[in-house]
Amino acid sequence: MSDLVELGTAVDAAQRIGNMVGVFAFGVSGALLAVRRRFDVVGIAVLAVATATGGGIIRDLVIGSTPPQAFVRLSYGGVALLSAALIFFWHPPARVIRTPLNIADAIGLGIFCVTGTVTAYQHGMQATSAAALGVVTAVGGGVIRDVLAGMTPSVLSDGELYAVPALLGSAVTAILLANGQYTYWTGGLAGAGAVLLRLIALRRHWHAPMARPHRRRDSDSDQSPPA
């Protein structure tokens, strides 16, 4: 593994802050889904921590950063548990819980597609591979959350564009890194663009293209046996 890429003190500080905000946002989304599925306090905590740290753990294992940062920096787990505690004691009514869940999930998605790409790039990955791992970081926690909650992961159906915003945010970040144009504010714009696209897609019900079903011919003549 090649040496870490140095991006500057300000960028590193923004990376740490972004990771914490992303952990909190994804922790909130996991806890809200747990409440929606009527999980108990243990289930809320587990879903919050799994959502907040799952994508980063997968990324770290791929790039060879072991043990994963979630097990080294216990503050990640602490922030996720804090989000679980907040949602356990205060959460919106079930009939409106979907909106704050989607907003928290979009924020986590936008932040982690950027920070995940930067982390992979700093560990010597090429820009394309770093962007791919940025997507994994962004959607990995959501996949784990949905599976544990007994739901089809959003990334598989891509309802209201889930993977696409993460892919675009990661790609823009990777291009900025490869051309030496990445700063904390250009990275922030890339993440904000991913968040905005996700929220617009939710509001306007944009979907990725789906395969068309075949039309079946169900005429009586086809169904009846020959005379």
> Mean of the pLDDT values across residues 7-19?
86
> Mean of the pLDDT values across residues 161-176?
95
117-132 residue pLDDT tens: 999 999 999 999 999 9
The residues spanned by each domain of the chain are 9-208
55-99 residue pLDDT tens: 999 999 999 999 999 999 999 999 999 999 999 999 888 777 889
Q: What's the predicted TM-score (pTM) here? A: 0.87
Which two three-digit tokens encode residue 167? 């892919």
Q: What is the pLDDT of residue 1?
A: 42
